[in-house]
A = this chain, B = another copy of it.
Amino acid sequence: MQEREIYLDNPPLGEALGKYFKELEEAGALKPTGAEVVDVREALGRITSEPVFARISSPHYNAAAMDGIAVSAKDTFGASEKNPVRLKEGVNFWPVDTGDPLPPGCDAVIMIEEVHPLEGGEVEIVSPCAPWDNVRSIGEDVAATELIVPENHRLRPQDLSAVIAAGHETVKVRKKPKVAVIPTGSELVDPGTPLKPGDIIESNSAMLAGLVEEWGGKAIVMEKVKDDFKLIMQRVQKAVELADVVLINAGSSAGTEDYTSNCIKALGKLSVHGVAIRPGKPVVLGLIEGKPVIGIPGYPVSAYLAMELFVKPVLYKMQGLPVPGREKIKARLSRRVVSSIGTLEFLRVKVGRLGGEYVASPLSRGAGVIMSVVRADGMVRIPETKEGIEAGEYVEVELLKSQEEIENSVLIIGSHDVSIDILANEIKRFYPEITLSSAHVGSMGGIMALMRGEAHLAGIHLLDPDTGEYNVSYIKKYLPNRRIFLVNLAYRQQGLMVKKGNPKGVKGIEDLMREDITFINRQKGAGTRILLDLKLKELGIDPVQIKGYGKEEYTHLAVAATVAGGGADVGLGIMAAAKAFDLDFIPVAPERYDIAIPEEFYHTDLMQKILEIMRSDEFKKKIESLGGYDTSMTGELIGGD
């Protein structure tokens, strides 16, 4: 088996950043990029490479600030109701509109409303004016030679206007730093390629290029390279010629960043290989020909973090800009998180405003789960010195969304149902400011989330084996002192999902005991799991008789995917999921899926808008079209406790 370098004792983040940026500074790799001259009208968002001083004043002449007549103020002295003063057009007054230059000898403007026209081109005024009344004098807005915007300034729309008014047609701005992105990995295929096992769609470079563009750089995405040291060397050499910064995106295989580090060693200087962070540990930091060359890990979340921590400051420094910080808030962590001493962990969290404070709930911690970054509202740093964070501890969250968006986010935690996705989308369609943000942890997980105060809503379908009733008894048992409203989302059919054509001839739950059948289960606490266990009990089947009973998935779709992928023969789930994966579906039981809403949230504006959407015909129609749903009770109140 292939040998790999072991990089024990990775330096902590601060040390790695300090060392690398010192070396970059010394090599002159961070000095601002050169300048280019652009038309001011095309300079929006560009960074000035030198200060802009006014060439001319604005106004560049003394201008009437009102419609009226221009006069010499001294001709009006002494005017009053009793002793009106007469002025003659072309002799001692001239009509002017706003913006007109003052005629020679004039130093004031009288508003048209204060002028009484007489016959023969004469007018009368009944009060004097002072010199410079109603005049915009030279330089009132911009005085020639004054500083309009300094160097290192990002040009905003109002700046463009001022720079033009100050007499400029062009402006000197920094060239955008060019960043080459090299995707590597023999497993990579282009988007759209038919996939075989082992293929991975090359999706990272879109994110890398997008981040580069957001940070003011110009991304050059190069052709992907196989895991071949010589080919990678050639591509890196070419990239160093083309660009100011080179990013080598490793394959997702654990050892492939060694190609990057060896390549940097061969062509330049390796500064750091491996940093004590998670995700993002296998980042590689180096220099070739005085240019930053950074090895970005292959797992997407690691890649995202490596970009944020190492590439962002490089790009901002090259543009002469401060590195913008993220907005931070204090939040209560809803669940305990364990982490390793010696590693700085970046935990993705959902954040909700609940009971007057922010509550952060941890998302999937896997480095391969890009959806955890898509879904995240923020990041929490768990320092190297801590073994984790206790539930209820207050943490600092670096927000990935604006605080305004967080305030308008409704967190629904519980069992997954496709109708929740549909609901989330309908809400965004009619109320773009509201986000219904879901986390899938099963029905009991949803009830626990309400108990811990980490969710606004819970999506549940919990069958009480004793009463045959859904949800009500669980709410009473686990949330005894709270008033909870239950609103029906839909009735849905639960059933066994099997491969198209039902090759193993599955007829019902009793077939799960068969030796030739592998099952894929849902996690403990999931409503579907409770239904299964009840059915097994009714049939007197011992779970140990079922192959695969111990292998759990967290959503209907993951179960269906497992069956479709051959990882199991049968799973229990909803018809919509079976349909999505083109599986056959053997009905087992209908079940009621409700949304549990604590009273204090039920009466909010936000919730009323969501209920309005749930009760709309359009929403019901979209749900029905999925198949296996009955919406006759959708949006109806089931009852409080």
Give the B-binding residues of A (Cβ under 8 A).
1, 4, 40-41, 44, 51, 53, 56-63, 65-67, 95, 97-101, 112, 117, 130-132, 136-153, 156-162, 164-165, 167-169, 187, 191-192, 195, 197-198, 200-211, 213-214, 221, 251-255, 300, 304, 320-322, 324-325, 366, 368-371, 373-374, 402, 404, 408, 418, 421, 424-425, 428-429, 432-433, 550-551, 553, 555, 557-558, 560-562, 564-565, 567, 577, 580-581
Contact = CB atoms under 8 A, between A and B. Distances in A.
Nearest to A434: B322
Main secondary structure of the interface of A (DSSP, over half): loop
Contacts of A4: 67
Contact of A581 (B145, B148, B208, B374): B145
A157 B207 contact: yes
A192 B41 CA distance: 13
B206 A40 contact: yes
A100 B160 contact: no
B429 A374 contact: no
A164 B567 contact: no
Contacts of A117: 1
Contact of A147 (B131, B138, B424, B581): B424
Contacts of A150: 424-425, 428-429
Given A141-B370, A143-B558, A160-B210, A151 B428 contact: yes
Q: What is the copy number of this chain in the assembly? A: 2
B210 A44 contact: yes
Nearest to A200: B99
A56 B168 CA distance: 53
Contact of A425 (B151, B168, B300, B425): B151
A543 to B, nearest CB: 15
B97 A370 contact: no
A-B interface, 6 closest residue pairs, ranked by CB to CB distance from nearest? A157-B210, A322-B433, A101-B197, A145-B580, A143-B557, A161-B207
A404 B325 CA distance: 8
A371 B149 CA distance: 10
A343 to B, nearest CB: 17
Contacts of A62: 565, 567
Contact of A254 (B98, B208, B560): B98
Contacts of A187: 99
Interface centre among A67, A158, A408, A428 (most CB of B within 10 A): A158
Contacts of A370: 141-142, 158, 161-162, 165
Contacts of A147: 421, 424-425
A185 to B, nearest CB: 8
Nearest to A60: B195
Interface centre among A101, A565, A577 (most CB of B within 10 A): A565
Contacts of A65: 368
Given A147-B421, A567-B138, A577-B145, A97 B255 contact: yes
11 contacts: A41-B209, A44-B213, A44-B214, A57-B565, A131-B550, A137-B558, A142-B371, A160-B206, A162-B371, A164-B191, A164-B202
Contacts of A59: 200, 368
B320 A144 contact: no
A23 B162 CA distance: 35
A98 B550 contact: no
A366 B206 contact: no
